Structure 1
Amino acid sequence: MIVVDRWFPSTRLCSTCGALAQKMPLDVREWTCPCGAVHDRDVNAARNILAAGLAVTACGDDVRPQRGTSRTGQSSAKQENPRATKGIPVL
């Protein structure tokens, strides 16, 4: 399983050019990036989370440049390996 960090700015990161928008209140549901891309906040977040997960799956963490340190000091996403006993029935 891949878990994206809670503080990853998925709604404010332009999924087109990678620019990070300023903080915005939750009632802002659509925003326009300086590159011209118009984003629905939820769709944009979904695209960014998918891209982060695919990047970790393909290349490992830290494949995109960090835009700052997360509040927790952890990486943007982490991989959790399934248990070695997954699928083996418990007796």
Structure 2
Amino acid sequence: MQLRYNFRVYPTPDQQVALAQTFGCARVVYNDNLRAREHAYAAEVKLSDTEVQRRVVTEAKRSPERS
């Protein structure tokens, strides 16, 4: 027997702001990751997940506009 539950969340205005910031940051990191993989693919270089993380996430943390 399979059960399924549906939940609905009603965040407060402060929580909505925090969620929007979190999802915005995740979208930026994903886009940076995708861009790095596309450049590597065009250059015929194979990147591991660790290498992408080092290039994208670590460098983004070091930049003043992304900190």
- Structures share a fold, TM > 0.5? no
Q: Which has the larger radius of gyration?
A: 2
Report the structure, 1 or 2, having the larger helix content: 2
Which band: TM-score by shorter chain? 0.3 to 0.5
Report the structure, 1 or 2, having the larger strand content: 1
